[in-house]
Structure 1
Amino acid sequence: MNFKKLTYYLLILSIGTSSFAQEKNKTFTVDFETFSLENGLQVILHQDKSDPVVAVALTAHVGSAREKEGRTGFAHLFEHLLFLESENLGKGGLDRLSARIGGSGANGSTSRDRTNYFQTVPNDALEKMIWAEADKLGFFINTVTEPVLAKEKQVVKNEKRQTYDNRPYGHTLYVIDRNLYPEGHPYHWQVIGSLEDLQNATLQDVKDFYNKWYVPNNVILTISGDFDKEQAKEWVHKYFDEIPRGEKIDRLEKQMVSLDETKKLYHEDNFAKLPELTLTWPSVYSYHEDSYALEILSNYLAYGKNAPLYKKLVEEEQLTGEVDMFNYTSELAGQLMLQVRAYDGKDLDSVKAAIEETFKDFEKNGIPEKDLKRIKSGLETSFYNSISSVLGKGFQLAQYQIFANDPNYINKEVEKLLAVTSQDVMRVFNKYIKNNNYIATSFVPKGEAGLALENSQKAEVVEEKIVEGAEEEVDPNQQASYEKTPSSFDRSIEPPYHGKPELKIPEIWEANMPSGMKVLGITNKEVPLVRFSLEIKGGQLLEKPVNAGISHILAEMLTKGTAKRTPAELEEAIELLGASISVNAEEEKISISGNTLAKNYTETLELVKEILLEPRWDEKEFELIKQQTLSRIQQEKGDPNSIAENEFKKLIYGENSILSYNKLGTTESVNNISLEDIKNFYEEKLSPMASSFLVVGAIEKNEALTPVRGISANWPPTSIDLPEIPEFQPPAKSRIYFYDVPGAKQSVFAFGAPALSAISKDFYPAEVMNYKLGGGGFASRLTQELREGKGYTYGIRSRFLDRSYIGPFLIKSGVRTNITYEAAELVRDIINEYPSTFTQEDLDVTKSYMIKSNARRFETLGAKLNMLKEINDYGYEYDYIKDREKVVEDLSVLDIQDLARKYINPDKMYYLIVGDAETQLDKLEELGYGKPVLLNPDSEEN
């Protein structure tokens, strides 16, 4: 598990300003109002009129910490159950409603300390959402029956397999938390719970848990967006007032922990291809006075070219390509974590020694003031990013209310974070790391226990055994009889829409540079940010098999210094502006993207100019990037999802196409690439004539264009010949392909075939057709039948990949291993029956979603930038959304059926399965597509 600065981003998500902000924050505030109902429900309202959307979130102050050992996973189980049905919404609950009203897809999340339910909808549906949320809180539990509970247990267990059991390093937190927190501590177990506890949960257990914790006096309702405040208050009172208050719920006392000794544990991971070391020290709870200095300490030690751990472990010792460190805080306690995934064959004792040496150096030198300033400077940009959506604003306000008991705490937290001194950083290092005991976990590949830290003990990890027929079939559609909860009015009547959201298509401006570069922009001053992307056509398409992966390495090289700046100096210059700049190589392009404060846009673009036109070509960085790339290729060989992605491309595009290659390249091709090859590719394959600059945010056209002209004027135009791409065709007949991962707890499906390109007139109609099949989340048949009907999977989706060439139709899922054949058969049958069973009702729901969801289509700067990308990549008209609304309105049931038959044929597909061959391979022949082809490199059949 690679945690990627988890806590840092959680912290940033919670930073904001309120209407009570101090004078210095007066120029940009997030106004809010709070009130409480007599039953204890707390309500937070925030108005934002910039888009015709509203976000509604219900947050319950209950997570896994409120469970009992032996009955774990209940809080997360409820996150699932609450979407299924309630007394007045009926079967399908909020998911069916979301599809009709054009919602973002009702969703939820569970942590150690809270569970939330949220979605963004067009503002005409606000009363419907308030009605629905009230129904979940006060009119739900009677609908939970034995069959419903049995099926949802299967779904949650599939989520556990997919997220933890069937992936590299998935058990890391399980091992850490069981040894960091003593038995009886609320964080001793995982949020997901155990398979055994989930299976043993009784219906009465579930009802008791709900009745205790899901009461108004333990819940916060947040409404954020474009709505009438007084009308919203009236609806809140109408639907929530009569839900009775529950018993008094006291806040839990803080329970920070300490360790009497250092514990070293190891685990031979079935999926890991590289050894990984994680060190964990007891830390502090959220909003503790030391949490801010610990956050800055972690950031300084681990992240970026200037970080001491990066310099020592990555550059000097060459033990790894990356270091992660973060302060993971929760309501009751916290843990400071340092994680290093080493290169192949590296002994983790050498990693530990390098860490200790780095710490000794830090004791002597501390944190320089310029680095302290650099780290803090990114907070302003991150803050504005976090409030770019109405849902983000709602999340922040609810989090402060529930954990700090004060939504206005945001001002205090920002002040404390920015007030951290270099002395504070050294103080927390001495207090929480130096000479302190810790948990050390070594996760190593099977058969390589010798790479673990010396004197490590074998960790206790519960591994599920694959047993055919181990879990009973369930029938969640069995009708339940119950007495409805009384109400003062008829809650079964769904509230009406109010008004009609006006679709606001952003106004696009354009310009053309003399070099041939095209510029598209949108001015939007909702937040003082600018996002941009310089898109250069080519990317992987311009590679050859012998140099596969060269565009990826070039993209990595471009951010590793310039002719004027070392890699560390470039990184520092970017961060001091509170900006971010990244370069990415994709199938059809290389893009230089960024995000910056509007006031620093010109300076940020000057750095883009340096990156693009004055590369450093650092030999040391080149060798480091190659090593990191080879390590990533090695990692992917153990990840079933990566295996499925890479093998599927080979089937779709064929071995003669560069598109069939991993974008990282192969071990052989990467080893063969020289720095001279990179320079030649840069000179020959990057040109302004094949480029477009896209920009959105708080900046006017003329101001935006000035630095772009500087890039264009200094970039010599050369003609780029993009290769002709063949018309990829579906197979003449279906065939099953299997990649063996011994002991896999799930089988990963990738079913599909070449279909059509994004520039085809049928592409969008085909997307509309796919909504009810597998593109509509919980509204889709694949989800309803495989997840909701059978409990076979945690999630399944189908989609048409958008490319300028013919891309594939793809169905992707992970299913529990012991029903691999049954799930594959069911998917095939659903596809086969879809055209003949698609109804007018299906079309009505599809049209309603496709048209209504446009109201929230351009809410954030990121969404606006994506709009420009679609226009630039595929030649769409600027108002293509309006045209698409007409396309949707004109489609008939017969049109949908014809599109399904034309582009989704179950008898002309590749059925790729990545799983356990010993238990699942042979039975798949019964699907009727011949003997499965085993794809493993050492297989005699491949």
Structure 2
Amino acid sequence: MKPIKSLFLSLFVLIAISACKQNETKETTPEFKVDFEKFTLDNGLQVILHVDRSDPVAAVALTAHVGSAREKEGRTGFAHLFEHLLFLESENLGKGGLDQMSARIGGSGANGSTNRDRTNYFQTVPKDALEKMIWAEADKLGFFINTVTEPVLAKEKQVVKNEKRQSIDNRPYGHTSAVINSNLYPEGHPYNWEVIGSLEDLQNATLADVKEFYRRWYTPNNTTLTIAGDIDVEQTKAWVKKYFDEIPRGEAIPNLEKQPVNLKSTKRLFYEDNFARAPQLTMAWPTVPEYHKDSYALNVLTSYLSDGKKAPLNKVLIDDEKLTDNVSFYQYNSELAGQLMLTVTAFDQTDLNTVASAIKNGLKDFELNGISEKDLNRIKAGQETDFYRGLSSVLGKGFQLAQYEIFAGDPGFINQDVKNILAVTPEDVMRVYNTYIKDKNFIATSFVPKGQKSLVLDNSQLADIKEEKIVEGAEETFDASIAATYEKTPSSFDRSVEPPYGSSPELNIPTVWKKELESGVKVYGIENNEVPLVQFEIQIAGGLLLENKDQVGVSNLLANLMTKGTKNKTTEELENAIESIGASIYSYATEESIIISGTTLSKHFDKTMDLVNEVLLEPRWDEAEFELLKQSTISNIQRSKANPNSIASDEFSKLLYGENNILAYNNRGTEASVNSIDLIDLKNYYNKNLSPQLTNFHVVGAISEQDVVKALDKIDTTWESKDVAITELPMPLYPEKSTVYFYDVPGAKQSVIRFGYPSVKATHKDFYLANVMNYRLGGGGFASQLTQELREGKGYTYGIRSRFSGSQYVGEYTISSGIRTNVTYEASSLIKQILEDYGKNYNEEDLEVTKGYTIKSTARAFETLGAKLDMLSNISNYELSDDYAKQRETLVKELTVDDVKTLITHYIKPNQMIYLIVGDAETQLDKLEALGFGKPVLLNQNENLE
């Protein structure tokens, strides 16, 4: 539940259907349509239905046309606050609301998102639970507000404030957006404030304010209901009318006029950031609202200027002047106005005036040369693939239809949107550059590490940022257990009766084909023709496991270098070859593998695999690219040292595995180890450790087994086999007793926790059942005790989870969260108590909820291409049978309470646990001795953190 645009929605702003043959002539692509039926209830509710029978699931999305732009100054953050409140309770769903029901019915986890202009609530469920979802969404819209009481509001304020601390206050550059928007948009403009609002406004919100906001905006005539999936249209219509019809229409909602802005002067602002370890420059120009005719060319412009080796900005800033390893440039369009955002995080100690000068030079390059038809077609080819990827789930289709209905007035606008994209010409791209960027005023922010004010842009003024102080007992207290008392809203039928399930859907397990090639490569595939896409990955065992702990980082550098050109192609030529067919190819390293993965249109699978063959078998070993990668890696390592979440992950691995185990190290290495690595080290690793005998190839999509095997012929016949042994790792043991470790980050707005210990491998017979056992403890989101007690009961955190994770080599159990700083001890003590009581208190109700979710959720287990790819990975890596999902279903059905209690005894050990806390030692360290595990160990006592 984050105050950002949904990934799916942003994809659809950028979609296009286009392709380009190698000779640059355009292919004819048939007009794409998503069939839908739309109708409007008498109360104004817009309803859109879309049938997709590829999986036995249905996605339900309720979208209210209200975001932060509809708020009042001084009462900001209300739309996002409501995103939270609507999940908690309604008159007939009862306490726990949709979150509790989601656990019972096997839903994907009810969720929502808020942006400037809309708030949505969404979930994918097995199709037998569709009527339940329609009933629940209607209860939220029409039978909710009476359940909001002072204690409920007080608690949810704390949750939202914890979200703000986690996503903004306790992370590097977190305040950049607020500084940009408050200066780009004048006072009184609805985009002047942030979607999440201010801590002060949230604290000042009264119950009367909240109810007024709800009654104004959460009405049927300001809401769109989208239902997509394996549905019976007539039955669905009847359910919608039954449950929504009698909710009264609200006041008429006037359309907001477009409000683009015009900056009268350029503004430069700076801030010394407590969490930054490198200077960052962000520049913002005002542009146009969503779906404006110029927005299409602006999307092409930002992509061309900053994506890939050929991009003018990258050429200057990355390759020529070596000021950074990444340039981010994108268009942030909203309903009323838009903006271009250009961000460069520079290398350590880089003067941002130098960065600004380099940006100017990169833009001059574009002014002189423009964009060619070839490059324009290359960008459109990538947009086609993105388009189909966004349609690979029923929820993605539902989001798309709602987006067009609300902001374009017609779900069928998809076809006009596509035409607008295809109509962009090179002249359009240059025109919008001249209109919105060249010689135009902008906002620039310089965020630099503490004590490095000398690096900011000249003539910058100090930004107005209010940092929260750590004060003991500052938050108001509340009792979230107090039940709301109210007179129920009248209805024509008894809404307290939850609708029954429909017919249970059969678990639809995809058919898997397998083949072992002569070279030793094992191939696993699933043919699926729902969309004309193919996703694949080559997984080569090894990664960090085959490295020397004195020179960690080799496999990471090697994986990143593999896509920086091939024997016969420079980096730019390889990028152009990939992008011209709308494909993507990535290579990266993990602790246990080097992986080459990608997505392509099925019609270009052969061409894509030709390029993969080059990447894998014909490395370029480009010295200049290698040096750039080293510099980039070192910069990332430096920046991570001030990020509390990165610190927590790295320190926990050290404590868990110990210095003699290679897995104690982050696979990107340290500054010293990366500096010590030469290109010859990468070549030695490549020649010694990359072998077809250690390789699994996973492929899913609109491609046959025969065509896949044919495309792998070169890999099969030319990749040299070699014997590579992965040494069995020494397994770390449970700590003999619990110890509290503390890493000091002065001024941290949250304490980041990692509690845990070594546990079972993914191949262990109990691994799956241990996760089932953990569902009610910390793995089930809002169905878990950790979430219910720390978030819902106390307001200590925005989110907390526990899980068993592992591979064929290792396993671990971890609890992770970001906790409000001034309750670090209280939260840690409560977690310890929950763990100690879990086995004693586990009962039949816990088991029933766990079984309900685990069994029913399998209906949507393999819906997307990515989910099918994960299925193949599980089968190949852990030697599972093709029908492992059905086998697991049987295991869960047979579980008893005593079985679960036995698992708890074996695998939940609160008194043999590493308790790691990353936070403000001055205010929190000493109190943690009261946990009863001795004096906390301060891990960085002698470090200078400034």
In structure 1, what is the equivalent of residue 20 of structure 2? Answer: none
Give the 5 Å matches for 1:745-764.
745-764=749-768
> Any conservation in 1 of the 2:313–2:362 contact (CA below 8 Å)?
yes
CA shift at 1:456, angstroms?
Answer: 0.5
Structure 1 Cα separation of the partners of residues 252 and 16 of structure 2? 30
Tell me which of 644, 652, 657 is aligned to 2:656.
652
Residue 567 of structure 1 aligns with an amino acid whose one-letter code is T
**Alpha-carbon distance in 2 for matches of 1:188, 1:700:** 52
Paired AA for residue 331 in structure 1: E
CA–CA distance in structure 2, aligned partners of residues 729 and 891 of structure 1 = 28
**Structure 1 counterpart of 2:854:** 850
Map of 2:229 onto structure 1: 225
Q: Distance in 2 between matches of 1:13 and 1:251?
A: 21
CA, structure 1 residues 119+24, in 2 after alignment: closer, same or farther (shift >3 Å)?
farther
2:733 corresponds, among 717, 723, 729, to: 729
Residue 475 of structure 1 aligns to a residue whose secondary structure is coil
Whether contact under 8 Å (2:12, 2:400) holds in the other structure is no
CA contact (8 A) 2:9 2:403 kept: no
Give the match's secondary structure for 1:719: coil
1:10 counterpart residue number: 10
Shift, 1:797, TM fit: 0.4
2:32·2:415 contact (CA, 8 Å) conserved in 1?
no
1:696 aligns with 2:704: no
Alignment check: 8 A CA contact 1:8 1:326 kept: no
Deviation at 1:472, TM superposition (A): 2.3
> 1:158 aligns to what?
162
SS of structure 1 residue aligned to 2:534: strand
CA contact (8 A) 1:329 1:335 kept: yes
Amino acid corresponding to residue 419 of structure 1 in structure 2:
A
Partner of 1:127: 131
* 1:502 is aligned to 2:506: yes
1:728 and 1:28 map into 2 onto residues whose CA distance is 55
Give the aligned partner of residue 339 of structure 1. Answer: 343
2:21 equivalent in structure 1: none
Measured against aligned partners, the alpha-carbon deviations of 1:848-871 in whole angstroms (never above 9, x if no partner) come to 100000000000111000000011
- TM-fit CA distance, 1:24: 7.2
Q: Does 1:705 align with 2:712?
A: no
Q: In 2, distance between residues paired with 1:159 and 1:4?
A: 12
Aligned-pair CA distance for 1:7: 9.1
For 1:220 and 1:648, locate their aligned partners in 2 and report how far apart those are by CA, in whole Å: 45
Q: Does 1:669 align with 2:673?
A: yes
Other-structure match for 1:407 = 411
What is the rounded CA distance, in whole Å, between the counterparts of 1:192 and 1:116 in structure 2? 15
Asked if the contact 2:308/2:314 (under 8 Å) is kept, the reply is yes
Q: Give the secondary structure class of the aligned counterpart of 1:408.
A: helix
Q: Do the aligned partners of 1:752 and 1:911 also contact (CA within 8 Å) in 2?
A: yes
Give the alignment of 1:514-525 within 5 angstroms: 514-525=518-529
Shift of 1:25: 6.3
Q: State the secondary structure of the residue aligned to 2:304.
A: helix
Q: Deviations over 1:815-865 (max 9, x none)?
A: 110000000000010011000101100000100100000000000111000
**Aligned-partner Cα distance in 1 for 2:379–2:612:** 21
Conserved? CA contact 1:563–1:614, under 8 Å = yes
1:670/1:910 Cα in 2 relative to 1: closer, same or farther (>3 Å)? same
Q: 2 CA distance for matches of 1:195 and 1:733?
A: 40
Range with greater deviation from structure 2 (895-904 or 130-139)? 895-904
Partner of 1:544: 548
Structure 1 contact 99–849 (Cα < 8 Å) conserved: yes
Instruction: Name the amino acid aligned to 2:660.
Output: N
Q: Are 1:606 and 2:610 matched, yes or no?
A: yes
- What is the CA–CA distance in structure 2 between the aligned matches of 1:689 and 1:156, rounded to whole Å? 50
Identify the residue that residue 271 of structure 2 maps to in structure 1.
267
1:210 alignment partner in structure 2: 214
Q: Say whether the 8 Å CA contact 2:33–2:415 is kept in structure 1.
A: no
Check the 8 A contact 1:744/1:915 in 2, yes or no. yes
What's the CA shift for 1:97?
A: 0.4
Q: Distance in 2 between matches of 1:312 and 1:900?
A: 57
Q: How many angstroms apart in 1 are the aligned matches of 2:166 and 2:649?
A: 16
2-structure distance, mates of 1:206, 1:8: 29
Q: Any gaps of 5 or more consecutive residues in structure 2?
A: 18-26
| Other-structure match for 1:363 | 367
| Structure 1 outlier segments of 4+, above 3 Å | 3-9, 11-17, 23-29
Distance in 2, matches of 1:712 and 1:241, equals 62
Q: Once the 2 structures are TM-superposed, how far is the Cα of residue 898 of structure 1 from its aligned partner?
A: 1.3
Residue number in structure 2 paired with 1:480: 484
Partners of 1:835 and 1:14 in 2: CA distance: 50
1:873 alignment counterpart: 877
Contact 1:294–1:327 under 8 Å retained in 2:
yes
Q: Aligned match of 1:98 in 88, 99, 102?
A: 102
1:889 aligned counterpart, secondary structure: helix
Equivalent runs, 1:549-564 vs 2, <5 Å: 549-564=553-568
**For 1:590 and 1:729, how far apart are their aligned partners in 2?**
28
Give matches, 1:821-900, under 5 Å. 821-900=825-904
The alpha carbon displacement at 1:527 in A equals 0.5
From 280, 291, 296, the counterpart of 1:287? 291
Matched with 1:932 is 936
* Structure 1 residues 553 and 174: CA distance shift in structure 2, 3 A: same
The match for 1:459 among 463, 467, 473 is 463
Cα contact 2:8–2:390 (8 A) shared by 1: no
Q: Compute the displacement of 1:367 (Å).
A: 1.0
TM-score if structure 1 supplies the norm length?
0.98
SS of residue in 1 equivalent to 2:559: helix
**RMSD over aligned Cα atoms:** 1.6
Q: How far does residue 372 in structure 1 lie from its aligned partner after superposition?
A: 1.0
Kindly provide the CA deviation profile for residues 533-573 of structure 1, in whole angstroms up to 9, marking residues without a partner as x. Answer: 11101001001112201100000010000001000000010
2:409 maps to 1:376: no
| Cα deviation, residue 597, structure 1 | 0.3
1:70-89 aligned within 5 A: 70-89=74-93
Task: Encode CA deviations 1:763-821: one digit per residue, 9 max, x unaligned.
Answer: 01101000000000110000000000000000000001121123210000001100000
Determine whether 1:107 maps to 2:73: no
For 1:374-395, what per-residue CA distance to the aligned partner results, in whole angstroms no more than 9, with x for missing partners?
A: 1111111111000000000000
TM-score, length basis structure 2: 0.97
In 2, Cα distance between equivalents of 1:29 and 1:847: 39
Structure 1 residues without counterparts, runs of 5 or longer: 18-22
Q: Return the alpha-carbon distance in structure 1 between the equivalents of residues 353 and 769 of structure 2.
A: 57
> Is the CA contact (8 Å cut-off) linking 2:528 and 2:701 kept in structure 1?
yes
SS of 1:500 mapped into structure 2: coil
Q: In structure 1, what is the equivalent of residue 22 of structure 2?
A: none
Shift in Å, 1:26: 5.2
Report what 1:419 is aligned to.
423
User: How far apart in 1 are the matches of 2:276 and 2:59?
Assistant: 40
Alpha-carbon separation, structure 2, partners of 1:875 and 1:8: 34
Which residues of 2 match residues 909-924 of structure 1 at below 5 A? 909-924=913-928
Aligned positions, number: 934
Does the C-alpha gap of structure 1 residues 14 and 374 become closer, same or farther in structure 2, counting only changes over 3 Å? closer
Tell me, what secondary structure is at the counterpart of 1:692? strand
Q: What is the letter of the counterpart of residue 323 of structure 1?
A: V
Q: 1: CA distance between counterparts of 2:584 and 2:935?
A: 51
Instruction: Give per-residue Cα distances to partners, 1:88-135, cap 9 Å, x unaligned.
Output: 000000001000000000000000000000000000000000000000
In structure 2, what is the equivalent of residue 20 of structure 1? none
Selected match of 2:68 from 64, 67, 71? 64
Residues of 2 paired with 1:609 and 1:303: CA distance?
Answer: 23
* 2:301 is equivalent to residue 301 of structure 1: no
Deviation at 1:29, TM superposition (A): 3.2
| Residue of structure 2 equivalent to 1:639 | 643
CA offsets 1:569-605 (integer angstroms, 9 cap, x no match): 0001000110000011011111110100000001100
847-856 or 895-904: which moved more?
895-904
Aligned to 1:429: 433
Give 2:151's aligned amino acid: P
Letter in 2 for 1:335: Q
Distance change >3 Å, CA 7–CA 810, structure 1 → 2 = closer
